[in-house]
Amino acid sequence: MALLQIAEPGQSPVPHQVKQAVGIDLGTTNSLVATIRGGRAAVLPDMHGAVMLPSVVNYSAPDAAVVGLEAQAMAVDHPADTLVSVKRFMGRGRNDAYADAQRAHYHLAEGDEGMVRFVTSAGEISPVQASAEILRTLRNRAVATMDSDIDGAVITVPAYFDEAQRQATKDAATLAGLPVLRLLNEPTAAAVAYGLESAEEGVIAVYDLGGGTFDISILHLHRGVFEVLATGGDTALGGDDFDAAIADWVIQESGSPSLAPGQYRQLQAMSRAAKESLSTASGVDINMAEILPGGAAVTLTRETFESLIQPLVKFTLR
């Protein structure tokens, strides 16, 4: 996430020769774009002052994709056309992605070389295309904020991403008009963000449990240089799975019948809100009447939540 100054040999850089670079956190749940200002990293806001962009893309209209909060608001009415957690599908085949797609109520097709594609009202959409819409939105935000075009981007990816997933990320950036300077492993980016590179030497464990992916990396730091000693994780494990565990529990406890795709999306959103509330509250009510007439209300305690996610957390620690 740096502002690069590039000049020909023997010449001094002048304003019109300055090259602008940004750093992008392309997340499963939310995405960010940042640059260097006054020697410090600054996250760039949108026109409303919000820095986080929900990683959601809606394809209800045949001629234009909708990205971010507006797309998120369309998920209940257009579940099959509203793509969330697209990062979990990057570089994956149709059969490999089937379980995640079924839970999200997506309709899948098989694209080139067996890669997954989503069937939407706008046609078949690949995870690369959807990710490109997110990256394009961040690029446009950066251009508007910095009043300058962008010459390149450093994009973070899970350390456990394989070559197909990394190439898919690069392809998405290309579609968005963003030259990729480097793909940076998220654990390394986290270590730098916390200033750990200023230490002289040491071995650091970075545990990164995100919205849809999990990484654990062991880094060796020597004179400001990180060496990755070992890495592991799961590119389909994260907060989304915690939300699903809550949603399934609510359905069971409330005795609710099978939910339509839009209703399940609404329950997922309520489950996520409940999870976040438990950061400060000991319990939170989830009222199924907001989804189904006559639906029962259940109380999710922090203790119950911890028991629901215990198998997932144990998996990350073994």
Residue 214: alpha-carbon gap to chain centroid: 11
Catalytic residue among 133, 208, 241, 243: 208
Catalytic residue among 46, 81, 87, 275: 87
Respond yes or no: is residue 25 known to be catalytic. yes
Q: How many CA atoms lie within 13 A of 299 on its CB side?
A: 5
Rounded Cα gap, residues 262 and 271, in angstroms: 14
Rounded Cα gap, residues 230 and 240, in angstroms: 25
Q: In a 3-state reduction of DSSP, which class is residue 211?
A: coil
Respond yes or no: is residue 149 known to be catalytic. no
Helices (H), 112-231: 127-146, 163-175, 186-193
Catalytic residue among 81, 133, 171, 186: 186
Respond yes or no: is residue 208 known to be catalytic. yes
Query: In this structure, is the dihedral angle defined by the CA atoms of residues 116, 311, 26 and 30, taken in order, positive or negative?
Result: positive
- Amino acid letter, 56: V
Catalytic residue among 25, 46, 133, 234: 25
Encoded tokens for 171: 């392809």
Contact indicator for 168, 91 with CB cutoff of 8 Å? yes
Encoded tokens for 226: 């990180």
Residue 31 phi, psi dihedral angles, 5° rounding: -130, 155
- Mind telling me the catalytic residues? 25, 87, 186, 208
